[in-house]
Amino acid sequence: MTPDPRLLLGKPVRERILSEVRSKTQAAGRIGKLVSISIGDVPEVAVYVRNQARAAAAAGLPFDQEFWGGDITQEECKQLLQRMNDDPEVLGVILQRPVPEHINVRSLQSAIHPLKDVEGMNPASIGNIVYNDVAMAPCTAAAAVELIRDTGLDMKGLEVVMVGHSEIVGKPAAMMLMAEGATVTVCHHLTRSVAMHSRRADVVVVAVGKAHLIGADMVKPGAAVIDIGINQIVEPDGSTRIVGDVDTDAVKEVAGWITPVPGGVGPVTVSILMRNAIRAYERQQAAGWRN
């Protein structure tokens, strides 16, 4: 079956990025390991860890998993992270979410040294984006930008509407697109008419967590639509399925490109994590941390 040319699939982009990273890891020699940290028993985290481990193997990056008990204290977490910051064998740290309620995840993200912050979650990493330093940007935001680039559209002067303004996706994605020369409008729950803005956009990026928020009447013909949302809906027969924030079947009849959910942004996100890891290695070298 011929794939729908309107679907902007993540897998080819993922494979390209992992291949680029692998060529660099092979040239680098001893590079250190990525460490995944899971706190408490959260079954859904296992899927993320498994995908990251596969991507790391494909990219030639050593990958270790640590499981911390759900009763660990905030202070104990910070002490363990500090040891990883000081350990030359640790290339980067991945803090899996969600975490137990008594753990302040933002505080832990701040405790990971910016040069080992491969997820781009440390406030310093996010703040760097304001200065057009996007090398260690949050992975999902960077994946959205990568997929827009994959369309071949010229970023300079591109009209982009970002629906959603979270600190780890919407805001950094908007800043990254501005760094590329795009004109960006950010919509959120207080925006009076999202459709008024989205209908004039060359690119619509959506990350709000509301199933099928964006319909065909909200998209300009030929526009690119990047759907970051992941929502579980219950069908009339009681079965469940994963859908995005966009009504894909309806919107693809209007859009020039659209990312499916699943299979769009997700595969690229994990490859960006590996690209951030090799960039962390390069920055650690430049800082004199590695030979």
pLDDT tens-digit series, residues 182-206: 999 999 999 999 999 999 999 999 9
Q: How far apart are CA 220 and CA 222, in angstroms?
A: 6
Task: For domain 29-114, give the CATH superfamily.
Answer: Leucine Dehydrogenase, chain A, domain 1 (3.40.50.10860)
DSSP per-residue string spanning 13-74: HHHHHHHHHHHHHHHH-S--EEEEEEES--TTHHHHHHHHHHHHHHHT--EEEEEE-TT--H
Cis peptide before 62 (omega within 30 of 0): no
pLDDT at residue 291 in the model: 67
Q: CATH topology of 29-114 equal to that of 137-266? A: yes
Nearest to 245 by CA among 234, 256, 257, 261: 261
Q: How confident is the model at residue 249 (pLDDT cuts 50, 70, 90)?
A: very high
Indicate the domain borders of the chain.
29-114, 137-266
Nearest to 171 by CA among 186, 189, 193: 186
Note the CATH number of domain 137-266: 3.40.50.720
pLDDT in tens, 149-187: 999 999 999 999 999 999 999 999 999 999 999 999 999
Bridge partners, 234 (sequence order): 240
288: left (phi over 0), alpha (psi -120 to 50) or beta: left
Within 8 A by CB and 6+ apart from 7, the residues are 252, 257, 258, 259, 260, 264
